[in-house]
Amino acid sequence: MKLLPEVLAAREEIQSLRRTIHAHPELRYEEIKTADLVAQQLEQWGIDVHRGLGKTGVVGVLKRGNGARSVGLRADMDALPIQELNSFDHRSQHDGRMHACGHDGHTAMLLGAAQYLSKHGEFDGTIVFIFQPAEEGGAGARAMIDDGLFLKFPVDAVFGLHNWPGLAEGTFGVTEGPIMASSNEFRIDVRGVGAHAAMPHNGRDPVFAAVQIANGLQSIITRNKKPIDTAVLSITQIHAGDAVNVIPNDAWLAGTVRTFTVEALDLIESRMQKIADATAAAYDCSATVAFNRNYPPTINHPEETRFAAEVMREVVGAQNVDTAVEPTMGAEDFAFMLQAMPGCYAFLGNGEGGHREAGHGAGPCMLHNASYDFNDALLPVGSTYWVRLAQRFLARADKG
């Protein structure tokens, strides 16, 4: 690895910031103290700070020379509503809240880069440090964009980075095109006519209709969608009735849909409506479909992805960069930024969990798990990557 000596020298300071954030997790759009800490550090390093975008977002702007090029680097700040099982010293001090996805580490890595670039960085252009709230279901990226993020702080490209458990520690994974899926929720309400369970002919059974709808929905994946188009349709809830001898008036089912393309999503939503309507009608019931599109697919732009991979190889060596990493059906609201600007989103290996200190929970070190902890060995790796990416991007002669 070719890590910056100054970044390595500041590791303990950045690690302390990471663990402070971990110990004081804040949920989406509540990242007030976290934003205060970020703003304070940026101001201390002479970086212009702007607050209030996306409610609790923080933007730092560092400009050098007369160059017109600009680059955006993004980290997320919010925690999850999870009760932490770890008992080490930097465990969450707030019941029911935990940094179980590594956003504390993402914030710290970008702060480490900001510190270096403010003191040592040689570049000609503008670096926009984006500390985003509410990635966990709150669409904080979209909120910042709606508040004028890229109008007030225009960039030529934007880049994101997420730690990835199961990927070898300190290695990178990236791919052109889709790297994470869209996230969507649905609920289908089925209305029938209640009756005594011993006399079902007197009613119109919504439970039976709901079960047939549930079975029929899987035909979208197996018979309507192209086999080469990846998609998931999972029914995760079916609710109906209060008594074992009563057919209820209503039933409902709900779940999630994940796709890598908007076209596949359009198809699934359309077919879902037709299947629900027709199946319910076949059993003399009616159905209403509510379909909510939460996050679009995260789609990396080819040129920016190839450029980011070059920087990764420079930092950790070609053998530690997988440029065809398997995409995940998980979702990420950085997708909104990639819809607005060219850019690249990548994974940084968090290892298998062996880095955790004594007192960690019995569960695996996986994302959204109560025994998770960010691997602090990644801090200088991520910070060096951000520094080299910004420097090289701003030094490019072209704007393509």
Last residue of a domain, one of 292, 322, 353: 292
Mean local confidence (pLDDT), 122-144: 97
Residues spanned by the domain of 327? 5-180+297-395
Whole-number pLDDT of residue 43: 98
In this model, does residue 400 exceed pLDDT 60? Answer: no
What does the block give as tokens for 161? 């980075």
In this model, does residue 122 exceed pLDDT 90? Answer: no
- Residue pLDDT, tens place only, 63-103: 998 878 999 999 999 999 999 999 999 999 999 999 999 99
Residues 122 and 267 in one domain: no
Mean local confidence (pLDDT), 119-123: 85
User: For residues 97 and 100, what is the distance between their CA atoms, to the nearest angstrom?
Assistant: 9
Residues 132 and 267 in one domain: no
Domain count, the chain: 2
318 CB contacts (<8 Å, ≥6 apart)? none
Residues 280 and 157 in one domain: no
- Residue pLDDT, tens place only, 261-281: 999 999 999 999 999 999 999
Q: How many CB atoms lie within 10 A of CB 228?
A: 5
- Sign of the four-CA dihedral 213, 219, 221, 225: negative
Whole-number pLDDT of residue 397: 60
CATH, residue 381: 3.40.630.10
What is the rounded average pLDDT for all residues in the chain? 97
pTM of the model: 0.95
Residues 286 and 321 in one domain: no
In this model, does residue 398 exceed pLDDT 80? Answer: no
Residues 137 and 166 in one domain: yes
In this model, does residue 121 exceed pLDDT 90? Answer: no
Residues 357 and 310 in one domain: yes
User: For residues 324 and 326, what is the distance between their CA atoms, to the nearest angstrom?
Assistant: 6
Going by their DSSP bridges, the two strands 231-240 and 250-259 should be labelled as antiparallel
Which pLDDT band, with edges at 50, 70 and 90, does 205 fall under? very high
- Residue pLDDT, tens place only, 280-338: 999 999 999 999 999 999 999 999 999 999 999 999 999 999 999 999 999 999 999 99
